[in-house]
């Protein structure tokens, strides 16, 4: 397996993920949570919501 971190700039590797990235990761692990990030949800909006 390739160790990509060893090929990247040290400053880039040291960057911490953004808070919103952490939020989306937590939400992705939860049941019954709908992510409203770009491109989602992947179902039609119900008429009563429109």
pLDDT per residue as tens, the chain (50 positions): 888 878 889 898 888 888 888 888 888 899 988 777 776 667 788 889 88
Q: How many domains does the chain contain in total? A: 1
Distance CA 42, CA 35 (A): 10
Domain hosting residue 3, numbered range: 1-50
The answer to whether the beta carbons of residues 13 and 5 sit under 8 Å apart is: yes
pTM over 0.85: no
Cis peptide before 41 (omega within 30 of 0): yes
């Amino acid at each position: 397996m390739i160790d990509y971190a060893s090929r990247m700039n040290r400053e880039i590797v040291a960057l911490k993920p953004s808070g919103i990235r952490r939020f989306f990761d937590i939400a992705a692990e939860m049941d019954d949570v709908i992510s409203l990030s770009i491109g989602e949800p992947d179902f039609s909006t119900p008429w009563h919501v429109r």
